[in-house]
Amino acid sequence: MNFTKKSYFKRGVVLVLILASTITFSQNNKQQELETRRQELRNEIEQLNKLRADNKTKQKSQLSLVEGVNHKISVLSNLIKVTNQQANLLTREINSNQNKITNLRKELADLKDDYAAMVVKAYKSKNRQSRIMFLLSSNNFKQAYKRLQYIQQYADHQKKQGESIKAKTLELQATNTKLLNQQKEKNTLIAENRQVQKTLQADRKEHEALMQSIQKNLSAYTSQIRQKQREVNRIDAEIDKIIKAAIAKSNTKAGKSSSSKSFALTPEEKVLASNFTSNRGKLPWPVDNGYVSLGYGTQRHPIDKSLTIKSNGVRITTQKGAQVRAIFNGEVSEILKMRNVNPIVMIRHGNYLSIYKNLSKVYVKVGDKVSTKQAIGEVFTNPSNGETILSFIISKDSNTQNPASWLYKM
């Protein structure tokens, strides 16, 4: 092999090693991501079960029960999916480690064979006199020096061979231990998944029973759904009206056209809006614990598929007595009180607004400066069914945004 071929060979070996380490690193990262997501889903299921247990004495409406079961089915399905992905990834890693163990055993066997041959050869020439004679029989000093170097190199090679055997043995033991742990982890995941699947089957049966009961009087439930949507639309229309009035007021104050659809911002408000934007996807939830029971946007109703729900924000189901927190620094711009509607707090962050609906208590007043995670009130708990639900909206000027794009891991 000439120099060029040796150079290419070495580069090839280096590339293979880099590729192998990159793949291993990527797999480890993926496994960590999946485990984090699995734990999040398990925590959400625990919250669901806890909220359900806390309210087990309350008579929930069929609509609320269906929504709750629907959400739990969705979370359980996601948990099964994530766990399956983890198990599949572990299977690939187990197969890879099994192949690695096979190769290590072969390499170790070859090293031991080579080492044994060296030991035999060394034993045959161990006589000190024979080594001296080997040197003295040289034709000249240069040849004697070369032979001395050979004896030293042979001894060094023998030592390195012994060290290689030790290193390979340790690597084989470590890989074996890792393999056993992976197999144990996979078995644990499979066992957990079977239990989750049983729970999912039970919840699907409950959902089916609820739907059969509802179908007997679907027209009445459809009427309730429409009435509820009209009430939501009425509240959202009032919020939109207030926001547009605030936009017009800010423009008039700044000497601009009151017909502008965007807030006229002061230098300080521009900085605040910029900071709010830079925290997209990292903002805290408006409650410490809870789950999204209704997402953003227009969607089919889970009971009557012919009906659609229009949601300008998200609905977060939380626990009784839950405090509402400001999601970012800002100023309380409005506290809205409407007939037969629980208080609504609006906080302005430059040209962004965060809106907190269905409060039982309000700790702030219009004009107050608030900071991130500051308690601004308490979520209302329905005394008839025990439900504690916060409706939450984010708006840029008068255009609603999907809170899932702004709040951390929503």
pLDDT digits (tens, 9 = 90+) for 305-364: 788 889 999 999 999 999 999 999 999 999 999 988 999 999 999 999 999 999 999 999
Per-residue tokens: 296: 């953003």
| 3-class secondary-structure state, position 332 | strand
- The verdict on 122 and 195 lying in the same domain is yes
Write the pLDDT tens digit of every residue in 174-207. 888 888 888 899 999 999 999 999 999 999 998 8
399 inside domain: yes
89 inside domain: yes
Count of structural domains, the chain: 2
Beta strand ranges found along 231-351 (DSSP E)? 291-294, 297-300, 308-311, 314-318, 323-325, 330-336, 344-349
d(Cα 340, Cα 235) in Å, to the nearest integer?
Answer: 11
d(Cα 189, Cα 187) in Å, to the nearest integer?
Answer: 5
| Stretch 61-71: mean pLDDT | 77
389 inside domain: yes
Q: Which domain holds residue 285?
A: 256-405
Q: Which of 191-195, 248-252, 289-293, 310-314 has the lowest mean pLDDT?
A: 289-293
| Of the residues 215, 230, 245, the one at which a domain ends | 215
Check the CA dihedral 106-110-113-116 and report its sign.
negative
- The verdict on 277 and 358 lying in the same domain is yes
- The verdict on 262 and 207 lying in the same domain is no
- The verdict on 154 and 297 lying in the same domain is no
Q: Which of 54-68, 102-116, 155-169 has the lowest mean pLDDT?
A: 54-68
CB 248 within 8 Å of CB 373: no
| Of the residues 186, 215, 244, the one at which a domain ends | 215
Say how far residue 42 (Cα) sits from the centre of its chain.
Answer: 12
d(Cα 261, Cα 344) in Å, to the nearest integer?
Answer: 23
- The verdict on 14 and 136 lying in the same domain is yes
For residue 131, pLDDT beyond 80: no
CB atoms closer than 10 angstroms to residue 269 = 19
Higher pLDDT pick, 344 / 122: 344
Say how far residue 126 (Cα) sits from the centre of its chain.
Answer: 64
Quote the pLDDT of residue 59.
59
Q: What percent of the chain has pLDDT over 90?
A: 45
Domain harbouring 340, CATH code: 2.70.70.10
Quote the pLDDT of residue 25.
59
SS3 content of the chain, % helix, strand, coil (to 5): 60, 15, 25
DSSP state of 261: S
| Stretch 70-78: mean pLDDT | 89
Confidence of residue 248 (pLDDT cuts 50, 70, 90): very high
d(Cα 165, Cα 141) in Å, to the nearest integer?
Answer: 36
For residue 128, pLDDT beyond 60: no
| Stretch 395-400: mean pLDDT | 97
Quote the pLDDT of residue 3.
47
Query: Largest Cα–Cα distance in the chain?
Result: 115
For residue 20, pLDDT beyond 70: no
221 inside domain: no
Highest mean pLDDT pick, 38-47, 107-116, 324-333: 324-333
Per-residue tokens: 117: 């041959």
Quote the pLDDT of residue 132.
62
Highest mean pLDDT pick, 146-160, 178-192, 241-255: 241-255
Confidence of residue 24 (pLDDT cuts 50, 70, 90): low
Per-residue tokens: 256: 């601009």
| Stretch 155-159: mean pLDDT | 68
Per-residue tokens: 318: 């939380």
Residue listed under structure tokens 């027209």: 219
Q: What is the chain's mean pLDDT, rounded? A: 85
d(Cα 353, Cα 393) in Å, to the nearest integer?
Answer: 8
| Stretch 276-280: mean pLDDT | 98
- The verdict on 369 and 281 lying in the same domain is yes
335 inside domain: yes
| 3-class secondary-structure state, position 283 | strand
- The verdict on 203 and 310 lying in the same domain is no
